[in-house]
Amino acid sequence: MKPYNPVGWFELYVQDMQRAKAFYEVVLNTTLKEIVIPDANIEMFGFPQDLDATGSSGALIKVAGVPSGGGGTMIYFNCENCAEEASRVEAHGGEIIQAKMAVGEYGFVSIITDTEGNRVGLFSSE
């Protein structure tokens, strides 16, 4: 069997798509692209994806009746320097839960809450 990454896709549920999209585009300095699924009655914007790269991509998703906010799963976004990305969080409606901290030999993380109440991590090797 070919080696694989255990996470193949993620979805962050949101209540206000434009607010959440703007938050992630500014904090992660990226552009999210609309994903259209005919007849699905959902709103979805995907993070950049390179099918030849390792790791996972995913999307913000708005589904009627599905709440956003804390849950039992946390995803971490790769960053150049997680302190830099975290520095943009509060000005755009999020909250810093944990400022940049070392995670041993693995690198550094910051923990934030987005505009929809989702807790996510920012990870960097420096």
Per DSSP, the residues of 29-91 read T---EE---TT---EEEEPP--TTSSS-EEEEEE-TT---S--S---EEE-S-HHHHHTTTGG
Query: Which CATH superfamily does the domain covering 9-124 fall into?
Result: 2,3-Dihydroxybiphenyl 1,2-Dioxygenase, domain 1 (3.10.180.10)
Please say if the pLDDT value at position 6 is more than 80: no
Name the band, by pLDDT with cuts 50, 70 and 90, for residue 3.
low
Tokens of 92: 């755009």
Q: Does residue 64 register a pLDDT over 60?
A: yes
Q: Say which residue, 48 or 4, is predicted with more confidence.
A: 48
Global confidence as pTM: 0.85
**pLDDT averaged over the chain?**
91
Q: In the chain, what are the domain boundaries?
A: 9-124
Q: Find, among 44, 24, 26, the residue nearest to 34 by Cα.
A: 44
